[in-house]
Amino acid sequence: MSLNATARIVADADGGLPLLESSGPLAVRRTRATGPYTRVTVVGAMSAPLGGDRLAVETEVRDGARLLVDSAAATVALPGRGDEPAVYDIRLTVGEDATLRWLPEQLVSARGSDLRMRTTVELAGTARLVLREEQVLGRHGEETGTLTTRLTVRRAGRPLLDQELAYGPGAPGGWDGGAVLAGHRAVGQLLVVDPRFEAKPVEPLLFADHAALAPLAGPAALVTAVAPDALHLRRVLDEALNALAPF
More confident call, 76 vs 209: 76
Is there a contact between 13 and 62 (Cβ–Cβ < 8 Å)? yes
Would 247 be classed as within a structural domain?
no
Distance CA 33, CA 239 (A): 21
Q: Is residue 17 in some structural domain?
A: yes
Alpha-carbon gap, residue 20 to 76, rounded angstroms: 23
Please give the average per-residue pLDDT across 103-115, as a whole number: 95
Q: What is the Cα–Cα distance from 86 to 99, expressed in whole angstroms?
A: 30
Instruction: Flag whether 239 is in a domain.
Output: no
Tell me if 216 is assigned to some domain: no
Asked if 117 and 57 touch (Cβ cutoff 8 Å), the reply is no
Report the distance separating Cα 50 and Cα 88, nearest Å.
10
pLDDT value at 205 more than 80: yes
Q: How far apart are CA 109 and CA 3, in angstroms?
A: 18
Instruction: Find out whether 114 and 177 touch, Cβ atoms under 8 Å.
Output: no
Is residue 1 very low, low, confident or very high in pLDDT (cuts 50, 70, 90)?
Answer: low
Model confidence at 178, in pLDDT bands (50, 70, 90)? Answer: confident
193 located within any domain:
no
145 domain residue, yes or no? yes
Mean pLDDT taken over the chain: 93
* 70-74, 127-131, 194-198, 207-211: least confidently modelled range: 207-211
Domains of the chain: total: 1
User: What pLDDT, in 10s, does the model give residues 155-168?
Assistant: 999 999 999 999 99
The answer as to whether 140 is a domain residue is yes
The torsion angle over the Cα atoms of residues 222, 223, 224 and 228, rounded to 10 degrees, is -160
Q: Are 224 and 217 in contact (CB under 8 A)?
A: no
- What is the residue range of 173's domain? 4-32+44-95+105-126+136-185
CA distance 186 to 232: 9
Is residue 119 in a domain? yes
